Structure 1
């Protein structure tokens, strides 16, 4: 019985056969095989013809894809018709006889099999022809367009050269070509060629993506070159890499994922699988530099570049996750990204810890002038610069070093268990590395340095006691500064204040090296005043709070009082008299001689001490005047006439009050003469 559906099915098969025979005969006439134009009459001939079709040369099959786009569409529509006939016959919906249905199914399957090599070659041809690496100029233009009005992202599926798509991203493929790739990919999946489709897409697009990134990087970010590069040059490379990473993720990777999603639209998780295959090596290439930097020498001068890397990684993480979305294989790419971020965080924490240890261990020479020590300048300015990274540091410090190290261990262990090489296949312990901390030289050429390695024979009880002491000091710092600064920066405030306390402890030890206790007090008030002033004048005050600044000011006053006590108690003692007793001329002579001797010694020594010009030096001189000048003036005027009546009065009245005032004004100028 012939039904309408039977007639439609026959006509569909005949039309499809005509199109396919025409295409295959066209390619055969240009050097291909001869099996495409005649229809087989038996299953044995089907196997022979299929084998012949699959062995056609790529040159012949590629002729199919060089014609007008409408012909390609007709070819794909013919394949759809063939597949429809197969479905109809296999489901029993064909209205004709069973023998006729078997014959039609046999013919349809033969043509479907014969078309597979053309599908495979067509997919490769269209994909290869339109998968050119992006020039760096195209990437820059896309990024600029995104910043100046185009929407964020970068994944148009069509276009040419450096022009961008409607979404602000660069064109990776011409629109019509992208549509052809999508349509051919869909037919390949329907024909059971999904694995071949994935492998072809991976090979072609990975080559284009890798070349795009290589051109964008311009050979600047090879981890193996890091060891032999001067720090200044390496610092410039860090800045260049930050720009490269932004472009690579926000423009290139996002564009690649959007192209992948477009090509494999409606194909389940094939899009994610293909993107993972294409982008895995690119992701390793992009972030190899940052990871190598995190695992390299952990020096204090590298901390700020390390923080820059941490911040740029944090800023692009959302875009990276969007490019690597999915719960399948792309999870490993996001894990790789997170591992780099974690390693940077661990390195930052390690540098901060070593920086603190270096402050505590510093044994550089004390300045002969009792002026501000190079260590003080270095540490305070270092901490002030840290404020620029307050948000990142606060996030890191809240997480804690142990959590970060634990995450690294977990991620590395999972990679080893899964057989992946990761990016640390050498077996290095990434959680702990030797480091060396260095500061700029002080006036004596000293360095702040240390490896952080303790002696293996160190007494364990002493270590435990030291740990308890440090923890108690930290707890006191935390409680003392809780709520005094901005609350969200409390954890950072504790770290900063503790490092300032460690610095102060080191300075106190240095002050004890001066033979003259008064000079040690001047050294301390110089350095503590510098600390307080710099913090007060900087944004770091927001973190540590006003209470800390006030306490430092009180310490300066305390050390000034100690200086006056050590230095001028002896001087003023020479002027003391008992009003109830009569002073003999010989006693007065001894008092004037003693005063002159001590005053001249103070003048000789303390003109070499240096307190920088400004309010501190003025206030210190004023305090000296108040302590010395008034009592000396009274004493001088009271007994001047007695000394003038003696022989050689100039021997005793060597300095009148005006001259004493001038001598006080000579103090703290840092005079270097003999």
Structure 2
């Protein structure tokens, strides 16, 4: 069967009429005349087909070739492939037409693969170029790139080739040639932006390497979806003007692969470890998918099947990243639970508290995105929940942290030091909540009030446990004054208690200056009045510690140092 019959005469004729050819204008001619026409066109066209030089390197040659091929197409349309006498001419014409299409495809690839002339700079501003130029991105070596476009004459040549190939029934081949040339070009540019294929080994990359890869991916997505792909879309519409279906197919073949390359990279990141340090870059990727890729897809891809496929892929990747973010919070909970039950010296702030609170504070800077991610888990129950899923998640982490800290406090032998440890950590937690408006809103004022009450209880327990026995030796009944020897003995005992307390608790640590001052003031308020009243009754001038010295000793506590 002839090439024309294989491609469908009805389709061929319809395309051809749209290009200004009408078979009704050319009534069937005797087969001898058709045979002579085909032989004549063969001689005209063969000199171009056998030439090693690009036809479009010479505008005259290009015009002559187009005219000859146009005439060949018109002749093919007049041939009846079912007529026995026309079969040799039909076969010869089909063979010649096929060779012409192969050469046109080759010329098309050559033209589309060599854009030249700057039209836009990296900021997207037009330069002083031809108004008809279509911005097409060149290979990129860094982020300061120049957008190139073929000259308007080259675009016109490409359009003529595309129109002729489509009219001859080779529109799909033309679209494939465009897609192949531009896809390789775009994939190379995406790779030059720093995006590489990630296998299972790449998923275990170090934190610094991974962060660099994600930063490059975000930049590559913005360049691809806001510069490279739109420029390709505009070029397709000009090259395939009047051929919307072929334009859509060409653009899809060119951009579908690079778009999938970017989506697959993101999906490979989502399947990595659940280390909490990855949260912030995953949030950046989630926002990039939500704000850049998904909104841009529908506008770029007119092909409904491709658009639906890529959109579904992008949504799936976004959901996978959302799942990875939720798994990070679960891993944070496990990290707190697994933290070794080891006491820190001096009852100071525990590293796990600093780590968790700084993590939560930083996470809340992306509060809206986290709310969206956590909402995906139980979207159907959103209206029935008394508070947001993020607030519930953070409250749960804080509860786990507090339980962990209370377990660690039991390790200390001195109950007073346990109180200092708990106060240090809870004061830090409250301060971090106050310093972050988002965290404060999520946690709520009631939580802060509960923690403040707990801190006051621990402070009272500390004062009672530390200074209760110190002031007990100074207590004198109002109705009788002990003998002088008893008073002297009590004073010596007070001095011993004071020195022991100073020697021990000067090595303890209260990290918050305000809390330290509050504890000093509370201790002085308990000890100094009792000591002064005792001295007033004892009337001994040669005492070891004056009230001022006692106060100084108290103010030296919780500095984390020992007497040399």
Shorter-chain TM-score: which interval? 0.7 to 0.9
* Cα 1:64/1:672, change in 2 over 3 Å: same
In the alignment, is the contact (CA less than 8 A) between 2:286 and 2:318 conserved in 1? yes
* Cα 1:27/1:6, change in 2 over 3 Å: closer
Per-residue CA deviations over 1:438-457 (Å, capped at 9, x if unaligned) read xxxxxxxxxxxxxxxxxxxx
Partner of 1:9: 26
Match of 2:547 among 628, 652, 657: 657
* Cα 1:338/1:21, change in 2 over 3 Å: farther
Partner of 2:11: none
* Cα 1:248/1:162, change in 2 over 3 Å: closer
Match of 2:391 among 493, 496, 500: 493
Quick check: 1:237 aligned with 2:213? Answer: yes
Quick check: 1:201 aligned with 2:156? Answer: no
Match of 1:315 among 276, 291, 294: 291
Quick check: 1:127 aligned with 2:106? Answer: no
Residue 25 of structure 1: how far off its partner (Å) = 2.3
Quick one: distance in 2 between partners of 1:573 and 1:251? Answer: 80
Match of 1:336 among 280, 305, 313: 313
Per-residue CA deviations over 1:553-579 (Å, capped at 9, x if unaligned) read 333323222211222222222222332
Quick one: distance in 2 between partners of 1:612 and 1:574? Answer: 31
Quick check: 1:28 aligned with 2:46? Answer: yes
Quick check: 1:521 aligned with 2:419? Answer: yes
In the alignment, is the contact (CA less than 8 A) between 1:133 and 1:211 conserved in 2? no
In the alignment, is the contact (CA less than 8 A) between 1:272 and 1:325 conserved in 2? yes
Residue 328 of structure 1: how far off its partner (Å) = 1.4
Match of 2:358 among 369, 381, 389: 381
* Cα 1:505/1:224, change in 2 over 3 Å: closer
* Cα 1:352/1:221, change in 2 over 3 Å: same
Per-residue CA deviations over 1:155-187 (Å, capped at 9, x if unaligned) read 974679799xxxx99445443333433443344
Any residues of structure 2 matched to 1:282-431 within 5 Å, and which?
282-317=258-293, 318-400=295-377
In the alignment, is the contact (CA less than 8 A) between 1:497 and 1:544 conserved in 2? yes
Unaligned runs of 5+ in 1: 33-56, 91-98, 404-477, 483-489, 645-649
In the alignment, is the contact (CA less than 8 A) between 1:525 and 1:560 conserved in 2? yes
Partner of 1:48: none
Quick one: distance in 2 between partners of 1:130 and 1:65? Answer: 14
In the alignment, is the contact (CA less than 8 A) between 1:20 and 1:78 conserved in 2? no
Partner of 2:435: 537
* Cα 1:351/1:567, change in 2 over 3 Å: same
Quick one: distance in 1 between partners of 2:271 and 2:514? Answer: 47
Partner of 1:564: 463
Per-residue CA deviations over 1:83-134 (Å, capped at 9, x if unaligned) read 7767xx99xxxxxxxx9xx999997997576334213321331233331489
Quick check: 1:611 aligned with 2:510? Answer: yes
Quick one: distance in 1 between partners of 2:344 and 2:233? Answer: 61
Residue 624 of structure 1: how far off its partner (Å) = 0.8
* Cα 1:175/1:134, change in 2 over 3 Å: closer
Partner of 1:630: 529
In the alignment, is the contact (CA less than 8 A) between 1:158 and 1:178 conserved in 2? no
Per-residue CA deviations over 1:575-615 (Å, capped at 9, x if unaligned) read 22332345234443443233223222211111111123622
Partner of 1:470: none
Alignment TM-score, normalising by the size of structure 1: 0.67
* Cα 1:199/1:61, change in 2 over 3 Å: farther
In the alignment, is the contact (CA less than 8 A) between 1:65 and 1:72 conserved in 2? no
* Cα 1:222/1:25, change in 2 over 3 Å: same
Residue 622 of structure 1: how far off its partner (Å) = 0.6
Quick one: distance in 2 between partners of 1:16 and 1:605? Answer: 115
State the secondary structure of the residue aligned to 2:313. Answer: helix
Q: Which stretch has the larger CA shift, 20-29 or 629-638?
A: 20-29
In the alignment, is the contact (CA less than 8 A) between 2:410 and 2:418 conserved in 1? yes
Q: How many aligned positions are there?
A: 526
In the alignment, is the contact (CA less than 8 A) between 1:134 and 1:212 conserved in 2? no
Quick one: distance in 2 between partners of 1:401 and 1:221? Answer: 33
Per-residue CA deviations over 1:180-222 (Å, capped at 9, x if unaligned) read 33443344344333443344334333222223333333x7665
Partner of 1:670: 560
Quick one: distance in 2 between partners of 1:368 and 1:263? Answer: 74
Quick one: distance in 2 between partners of 1:9 and 1:60? Answer: 35
Per-residue CA deviations over 1:402-456 (Å, capped at 9, x if unaligned) read 99xxxxxxxxxxxxxxxxxxxxxxxxxxxxxxxxxxxxxxxxxxxxxxxxxxxxx
Quick check: 1:248 aligned with 2:224? Answer: yes
Quick one: distance in 2 between partners of 1:630 and 1:178? Answer: 96
Quick one: distance in 2 between partners of 1:132 and 1:203? Answer: 14
Any residues of structure 2 matched to 1:102-121 within 5 Å, and which?
111=93, 114-121=96-103
Partner of 1:407: none
Any residues of structure 2 matched to 1:147-186 within 5 Å, and which?
157=134, 170-171=147-148, 173-186=150-163
Quick one: distance in 1 between partners of 2:189 and 2:25? Answer: 50
CA-atom RMSD, angstroms? 4.2
* Cα 1:364/1:19, change in 2 over 3 Å: farther
State the secondary structure of the residue aligned to 1:144. Answer: coil
Quick one: distance in 2 between partners of 1:380 and 1:240? Answer: 29
